[in-house]
Amino acid sequence: MPSSTDALKSTVETKGVKFHLKTGNAKWQCTILDRTTHEKQKAERERTDSASSIETTPSGSSSSSTKSH
């Protein structure tokens, strides 16, 4: 049977641990991920953003823009 440490590690690596913070009138949703999972998700977002920001101009050439986080 897997230990609770293994179960926690598996959860953090796959979907993360989500929780909410509320202070006064402010609310935050937080997700704890391991570094490898974070980097994979970040790379996927950048590929998606990059693919959607490429435009074809009337002359047939293309241009693109980049976003900084």
pTM over 0.85: no
Which amino acid is it at 41? Q
Confidence class for position 63, pLDDT limits 50, 70, 90: very low
Residue with tokens 């049977």: 1
Q: What is the pLDDT of residues 24-61, one digit of tens each?
A: 999 999 988 888 888 888 899 898 887 765 555 555 54
Which residues lie closer than 8 Å to 22 by C-beta, 6 or more apart? 28
Best CA proximity match to 11, nearest among 34, 30, 45: 34
